[in-house]
Amino acid sequence: MKALSLRITAWITSLFTLNYRTHAIFPLFLSFQRVYIITWNVGSAVPPDDITSLFGPNVSDGNIDMFIIGLQEVNSMINKRLKDVLFSDQWSELCMDTLSPFGYVLVASQRMQGVLLLVFSKFCHLPFLRGVQTQSTRTGLGGYWGNKGGVSARMTMFGHPVCFLNCHLPAHMRNLEQRMEDFESILQQQQFEGGAATGVLDHDVVFWFGDLNFRIEDYDIHVVKCAIDSNKLPLLWERDQLNMAKNTELILEGFMEGQLKFPPTYKFDVGTHTYDTSAKKRKPAWTDRILWRLRRTGSPVPTHNAALQRGLTSWLGGATKVTQHAYRSHMSFTISDHKPVSALFSLHFPFRVDMPLVELQVNKEWCKASDATVRFTVASTYQRSSWDWVAIYKVGFRHHKDYQAYVWAKAEHATQVTFSEEDLPRDDCEYILGYYSHNMNSIVGLSSPIQVTRIIEQREANAFLLVKNRSRYTGTIISHFIRYVFLAPGLGQGAAKHSSEIWEWHPGWCSAAIAHLLQGLTYCAHVSEVAPPPPSKNPTKVVSNVCATFVLVCAAKIWFLLQRFSFVLLSF
């Protein structure tokens, strides 16, 4: 009885976990991850203008935690490939343009000629996606050509190793054996460094998808089309090569797939919803598939104490579980002879890592460059690298290199970094600070969104280089008097009005003489602002003031050019 009571108590305790940021208690069983996977053979086509519908009807709701996109036959002609090496390819750009406004960040990307894999995650999950690695395996032309093969991305997701594998296997009905050999070769060759999961099948969860090119045996094209028209899809599913191979091929043991309730996704006439009418008359087939596999293990699920000893913060009894909620095709897309296929999964893990390796603290207000300091604390289990860095990201950033500025966190025992004035953003937006780990190839620490406000001091600078038109300034020097205020969440821009006024001089744009003169004018501007003179109602005086201002501006510019010219002459 006592043992049963302890087990019940442990179970009730494990249903709740303490959130490390808000210190609020949340039920752990609601913390599963929702993963949305897409596979599409795009047939070297140019991306369409809008693919939002491909990501589901509620992509803007933020209910999906991760989006995984696997593409095949991305245009890889020489001129196109060279451009993609120098810049991001069109498909990656389109996916980032579509998902980043909703808070999704590109975590991993791997391309092998026309085979492309993209992994996106909600930015709040980034500190818990660690050890990101990618691999690629060529199987075309005996392993020397990458038109066929597989690309993968692996990572630990809240403490659990997960692998995503996108494949393009050999085509045609007769090449079933070759497809199985290529898949086995991909699994053998793709090995990852560090950790217990070195091979693809060593991961707790494996998602395998792509243009797998399995066909429908026995039935001729007329029988297949009649079955499709009469919605007798189970008749075709029974003769699907992949379904039959799962019962005979050892390499496919453990792989699962949802029921195929949508028509075959290959082959269509491009630009239509009509199956192939060319002279080849390819038989329709479910070539585009999404499967998953759970690692088989005889070891027991770690106990609550063992989980804590491994640096875990919570544990819920039960095995890792994958549930498929949707499996469908997207028939509206017609740019390729394949239709895209998507699947929605939820992942339930027996325990969960929900403490970041690095926690960032920022000052509530940055009034000058010397205040732009970020302090951080590092977990005792985290191995730092001299290549780690802290970056400023705009909310809605696309990938970990899409920063506004960064500072190296080189010192082994350093607990803070400082951004220079030149590094500070130049617009009024929300930003996030992130700590990037070189060893883990991922962001391991994030701050909450913070408001960065750039305030241009509205001063009356004696009409030397500035012309005041009510509340607006025009001129060339105003941009050199800038104050930066870094506001924490909850502080609006109005809070900056109560902060101390700090003027900063930017050297290097003109001579010391002009700098000294302008500093004097700045001082005069401070004095004149206390009791500004009333505006003149005399039109003649207004015109004369404008003319005088124009002359002073021209004189200043001429003086500036002479200073520059003299510097050039001296340099010779």
257-261, 383-387, 455-459: lowest mean pLDDT where? 455-459
The model's pTM: 0.74
Residue 67, pLDDT score: 98
Residue 327, pLDDT score: 98
Which residue would you say has higher pLDDT here, 512 or 414? 414
259-268, 271-280, 351-360, 507-516: lowest mean pLDDT where? 507-516
Checking if the pLDDT of 63 tops 70, the result is: yes
Query: Taking residues 360-373, what's their average pLDDT?
Result: 71
Specify whether the backbone of 203 is left (phi greater than 0), alpha (psi in -120 to 50) or beta.
beta
Residue 329, pLDDT score: 98
Percentage of the chain lying above the pLDDT 90 cut: 55
Confidence class for position 422, pLDDT limits 50, 70, 90: confident
Confidence class for position 332, pLDDT limits 50, 70, 90: very high
Query: Taking residues 255-279, what's their average pLDDT?
Result: 97
Note the pLDDT tens digit of each residue in 9-29.
444 434 433 343 333 333 343
Confidence class for position 309, pLDDT limits 50, 70, 90: very low
Checking if the pLDDT of 476 tops 50, the result is: no
Checking if the pLDDT of 304 tops 60, the result is: no
Residue 32, pLDDT score: 73
Note the pLDDT tens digit of each residue in 81-110.
555 555 578 999 999 999 999 999 999 999
Which residue would you say has higher pLDDT here, 502 or 377? 377
Which residue would you say has higher pLDDT here, 302 or 407? 407
Q: What is the mean pLDDT of the chain?
A: 78
Query: Taking residues 260-282, what's their average pLDDT?
Result: 96
The closest alpha carbon to 317, from 36, 7, 3, 11, belongs to 11
Q: Right CATH number for 358-448 from 2.60.40.2840, 2.60.120.620, 2.40.50.100, 3.30.450.40?
A: 2.60.40.2840
Confidence class for position 413, pLDDT limits 50, 70, 90: confident
Confidence class for position 201, pLDDT limits 50, 70, 90: very high
DSSP codes of every residue in 426-470: SS-EEEEEEEEETTTTEEEEEPPPEEEEEEE-----TTSSEEEET
**Measured distance CA(28)–CA(338) in Å, rounded:** 40
User: Which CATH number describes the domain made up of 31-352?
Assistant: 3.60.10.10
Residue 524, pLDDT score: 39
Q: Where are the domains of the chain?
A: 31-352, 358-448, 453-571
Residue 394, pLDDT score: 92
Beta bridge partners, 418, equal 373
Residue 563, pLDDT score: 59
Checking if the pLDDT of 528 tops 70, the result is: no
Q: Directed axis angle between helix 539-571 and helix 512-528, to 10°? A: 150
Residue 21, pLDDT score: 38
Residue 453, pLDDT score: 64
Residue 102 makes CB contacts below 8 A (sequence gap 6+) with 59, 60, 62
Q: What is the DSSP letter of 268?
A: B
Residue 558, pLDDT score: 75
Which residue would you say has higher pLDDT here, 351 or 47? 47
Note the pLDDT tens digit of each residue in 35-49.
999 999 999 999 999
Percentage of the chain lying above the pLDDT 70 cut: 67
Checking if the pLDDT of 484 tops 70, the result is: no
Exposure string (b/e) for 284-320, b if CB count within 10 Å is 16 or more? Answer: bbbbbbbbbbbbeeeeeeeebeebeeeebbbbbeeeb
Note the pLDDT tens digit of each residue in 454-474.
544 333 343 333 333 333 333
Query: Taking residues 495-510, what's their average pLDDT?
Result: 39
Query: Taking residues 364-368, what's their average pLDDT?
Result: 61
Confidence class for position 373, pLDDT limits 50, 70, 90: confident
Residue 177, H or E segment: helix 176-189
Residue 234, pLDDT score: 96
Beta bridge partners, 206, equal 163, 293
Residue 174, pLDDT score: 96
Residue 431, pLDDT score: 86
Q: What does R_g of the chain's alpha carbons equal in angstroms?
A: 31
Question: Which amino acid is present at 383?
Answer: Q
The closest alpha carbon to 263, from 285, 294, 241, 296, belongs to 285
